[in-house]
Structure 1
């Protein structure tokens, strides 16, 4: 199948802390290559949480005519 191209714009994606409901989670170490676990810490309350295969904050891309949800 041939390539197709379309204009996109970058958007920042954050994860709001489940504990305090206000702070953003930030990765604090590299991903473990064996398990895919990425340790994170809330920037407000300091709670720690692991995510698998994702590191926050991250950048996603959406079409120019799309709205983020």
Structure 2
């Protein structure tokens, strides 16, 4: 499991099973979610904990994308 993490906003954008899917999710996040987000803010890393909440986001190839905010 890999997750896409935003260092500046301190939030996990989503979790995926493969690194290629995580790269794709990071690219989509740069386009759709936050136009002010920069490539330097995103980190692809091993998942550190199970997802708290699951939501459906438009534009992604996966049916379920995990989004939650760390404190």
Which structure dedicates a bigger proportion of its chain to helix? Answer: 2
Determine if the TM-score, normalized by the shorter chain, exceeds 0.5: no
Q: TM-score range by the shorter chain?
A: under 0.3
User: Could you state the TM-score of these two structures normalised by the residue count of structure 2?
Assistant: 0.27
In our comparison, the structure showing a higher alpha carbon Rg is 1
Which structure dedicates a bigger proportion of its chain to strand? Answer: 1
